[in-house]
Amino acid sequence: MRITFQEESINEKSFNRIFQGVSFKEIGLDLRKVKEIVEVERIENYKLPLLMFLLEDDTLLHIEIMNDEIKTDLQSMFTYDMSIVLRYKIQVRTVILNFGSRQDGKIMRNFGSMHYEVQIVDLSSIDGDKVYEELSQKITSGYLLNKRDKLNLAFLPFMKHSVSFSEALRKVILLIESIKDEEERMAYVAVISEIISRSTGEQGVKVLKEYLMDTEVGIRIRDEGKKEGMRESIMIILLEKFKVLPDDVYYAIAEQKNENTLMKWLQNVTSICSVDELKKMVFNIE
Q: Which long-range contacts (CB under 8 A, 24 or more apart) does 206-214 make?
A: 206/166, 206/270, 207/166, 207/169, 207/170, 207/173, 208/169, 209/266, 209/267, 211/170, 211/173
> Within its chain, how far is the Cα of 266 from the centroid?
16
Burial of 286 from C-beta contacts in 10 A (0-12 / 13-18 / 19+):
exposed
Dump pLDDT digits (tens) for 91-107: 999 999 998 776 668 88
Strand-pair category, 60-66 with 92-98: parallel
Q: What is the 3-state secondary structure (H, E, C) of 168-222?
A: HHHHHHHHHHCCCCHHHHHHHHHHHHHHHHHHCCHHHHHHHHHHHHHCHHHHHHH
What is residue 219's predicted lDDT score, i.e. its pLDDT? Answer: 60
Residue 2: is its pLDDT beyond 50? no
Which of 1-10, 63-72, 75-84 shows the lowest mean pLDDT across its residues?
1-10
Mean model confidence pLDDT for the chain: 84
Residue 179 confidence class, pLDDT cut points 50, 70, 90? very high
**Residue of 71, 72, 36, 74 lying closest to 52 (CA atoms):** 36
Position with higher pLDDT, 206 vs 218: 206
Please state, in angstroms and rounded to a whole number, the distance separating the CA atoms of residues 242 and 172.
31
Q: What is the mean pLDDT of residues 38-50?
A: 86
Q: In one letter, which amino acid is 98? A: N
Please state, in angstroms and rounded to a whole number, the distance separating the CA atoms of residues 276 and 283.
10
| CA separation, residue 219 to residues 194, 213, 224, 252, 271 (Å) | 15, 7, 9, 25, 23
User: In sequence order, what are the residues at sequence separation of 6 or more whose Cβ sits closer than 8 angstroms to the Cβ of residue 10?
Assistant: 190, 224, 225, 226, 228, 229
Residue 254 confidence class, pLDDT cut points 50, 70, 90? confident
Dump pLDDT digits (tens) for 210-232: 766 656 556 665 555 556 677 87
Sheet holding 92-98, edge to edge: 34-37, 51-55, 60-66, 92-98, 114-122, 105-111
Q: What is the mean pLDDT of residues 236-258?
A: 83
What is residue 36's predicted lDDT score, i.e. its pLDDT? Answer: 94
Position with higher pLDDT, 218 vs 174: 174
Most confident of 35-39, 45-49, 241-245: 35-39
**Residue of 67, 66, 58 lying closest to 38 (CA atoms):** 58
- Residue 36's φ and ψ, nearest 5 degrees, are -170, 160
What is residue 22's predicted lDDT score, i.e. its pLDDT? Answer: 95
Which of 82-86, 107-111, 231-235 shows the lowest mean pLDDT across its residues?
231-235
What end-to-end distance do the CA atoms of the chain give, in Å?
A: 36
What is residue 270's predicted lDDT score, i.e. its pLDDT? Answer: 78
Residue 9 confidence class, pLDDT cut points 50, 70, 90? low
What is residue 3's predicted lDDT score, i.e. its pLDDT? Answer: 37
Q: What is the mean pLDDT of residues 7-14?
A: 68
- pTM check: above 0.75: no
Residue 28 confidence class, pLDDT cut points 50, 70, 90? confident
**If DSSP codes are grouped into helix, strand and coil, which group holds residue 163?**
coil
How big is the CA angle at 255 (ends 250 and 258), to the nearest 5 degrees?
A: 120
What is residue 126's predicted lDDT score, i.e. its pLDDT? Answer: 93
H or E element: which one contains 110? Answer: strand 105-111
* Percent share of the chain, pLDDT over 90: 41
Say if residues 93 and 100 touch (Cβ distance below 8 Å): no
Total residue length of the chain? 286
Domain map (residue ranges) of the chain: 10-125, 126-219, 225-286
What is residue 203's predicted lDDT score, i.e. its pLDDT? Answer: 65
Dump pLDDT digits (tens) for 106-153: 888 888 888 899 999 999 889 999 999 999 999 999 888 999 999 999
